[in-house]
Amino acid sequence: MNSEQLALTGWGRTTPSVASLVNISADELTQPGVLDRLDHAGRGIIARGMGRSYGDPAQNGGGTVVRISDGEIAVNSAQGSVRVGAGISLDTLLREIIPLGWFVPVTPGTRFVTVGGAIAADIHGKNHHVDGSFGSHVQQLTLLLADGTQQTLSPVGKHADLFWATVGGMGLTGIILDATFSLIPIETRHCVVTNERVPDFDTLIDKMIASDHLYRYSVAWIDLCATGSSLGRALLSSANHATLDELRSMNPKQTMDPLAYSPPTLADIPSIVPNVINKLTIKAFNELWYRKTPKLQHHTETLTAFFHPLDMVGWWNRLYGRNGFIQYQFVVPDNAIDGLRAIVEKVAAHGHASFVNVLKRFGPGSGGYLSFPTSGWTLTIDVPSGVDGLDALFTELDEMILAVGGRHYLAKDAQLTPGVVNAGYPRLDEWKAIRRTVDPRRRWASDMARRLDLL
């Protein structure tokens, strides 16, 4: 075990707070009395994975933040599943399982997240409309409870309530020690991808509705600087895993070693860089990005290029400069298309610099009490922190989202209020009741939990 006092932030690099960061093996963490010793300041403990959530859920100012430093991977090929230590990253896991012909059931836009973080946020990927969220694939997990005992949880049966309070529970029911979940069989490390330029919002919605059942993965990058007749213009990218036969016919050279996997990092952004992301650079970038994509393109891409292109640039979050950036993600129901269009109009009219704007379709949610995904449309917006008028814009957007029955993603949040979360998550009180039964003395605590009144 090692411990240091450190200012921690999320990936957005806003709202730092100083905590005692403890790197500890799962074995040490579960020894009798260790939790009492770690909670010496009386401000509680929170687990942290790779700090890839954007806001403050893996921070605990004045208290303790725990990172599990080890873990094993045990693939069960007969069952198509894997048992993994919760501190293991998807990066490490993919390097092990892709050469064996398996892929994770859900991956976010980065592979630098831990299994614990994936379950605690019940993450979604480009395949939510087909496969649901990460928690839907978890067969069993081991939870370290506030009293130092361990509980094995599964989605059905005796402790199912605690399982579903933990899936999406942002680390506030206990520390996940390991999990068993199902895998997707693959024949190659490639996808067959169709990219398409879409001229406006209405065409985009129609195309996504019409084509989603044809593709396991689907995502649209939206140009939120475009207005008028180009409002909502986008690049729609849809894919399936490439079979060996497909690879043979489309790109025979790649069939040499079809499951070899070693994702590259092309560059690291240094720790101090000027903020290069502003209205002008974003507008120019968006124009270029939209124009550079052929109107229709059908080709193969590696898993890295399709799922994790941002990972090729290490610490790209530093490009936003010292103030960091806010990522704002929400979901609105399937039938709230007019509401979604009004939101896109509002953001475009505001004219701020928004860079990574992504629209996806969600299928039905998992059983997680605080799980974010639910049937509908989810839009993600990135904005440099401190832009004029941003707070007012978000307040207006919050109201528009709640008015159509939507909600916000806690793993991206750094600035919501308790009222907004209460309104968006109808099962919040049930979740709080379960949490209190397993943690009556509020051992688990985070900056987010205090800000959003979750304890």
Report in angstroms how near the CB of residue 354 gets to ligand FAD at its nearest.
15
Of residues 195 and 327, the one with the C-beta less far from ligand FAD: 327
Shortest Cβ 338–ligand FAD spacing (Å): 26
Q: Whose CB is nearest to ligand FAD? A: 49
Nearer to ligand FAD, 21 or 400 (CB): 21
**Min dist. Cβ of residue 53 to ligand FAD (A):** 3
Is 57 or 363 the residue whose CB approaches ligand FAD more closely?
A: 57
User: Closer to ligand FAD at the Cβ: 125 or 384?
Assistant: 125
Q: What is the 3-state secondary structure (H, E, C) of the chain?
A: CEEEEEEECCCCCCCCEEEEEEEECHHHHCCCCHHHHHCCCCCCEEECCCCCCCCCCCCCCCCEEEEECCCCEEEECCCCEEEEECCCEHHHHHHHHHHHCEECCCCCCCCCCEHHHHHHCCCCCCCHHHHCCHHHHEEEEEEECCCCCEEEECCCCCCHHHHHHHCCCCCCCCEEEEEEEECEECCCCEEEEEEEEECCHHHHHHHHHHHHHHCCEEEEEECCCCCHHHCCCEEEEEEEECCHHHHHHHCHHHHCCCCCCCCCCCEECCCCCCCCCCHHHHHHHHHHHHHHCCCEEEEEEEHHHHHCHHHHEECHHHHHCCCCEEEEEEEECCCCHHHHHHHHHHHHHHCCCCCCCEEEEECCCCCCCCCCCCCEEEEEEEEECCCCCHHHHHHHHHHHHHHCCCEECHHHCCCCCHHHHHHHCCCHHHHHHHHHHHCCCCCECCHHHHHCCCC
Which residue, 53 or 354, is less far from ligand FAD as judged by CB? 53
Where along the sequence are the contacts to ligand FAD (CB under 6 A)?
11, 46-53, 57-58, 68, 86, 108-110, 113-114, 116-117, 120-121, 123-125, 170-171, 175-176, 310, 411
Residue (47 or 162) nearer to ligand FAD, CB: 47
Least spacing, CB of residue 312 vs ligand FAD, in Å? 11
Least Å distance, CB 67 to ligand FAD, is: 8
In the complex with ligand FAD, the residue whose CB is nearer, 51 or 232, is: 51
Q: How far is the CB of 117 from ligand FAD (least distance, A)?
A: 2
Provide the minimum distance between the beta carbon of 244 and ligand FAD in the complex, in angstroms, as a whole number.
28
Closest approach, Cβ 169 to ligand FAD, in A, equals 8
Looking at the Cβ atoms of 350 and 360, the one nearer to ligand FAD is 360
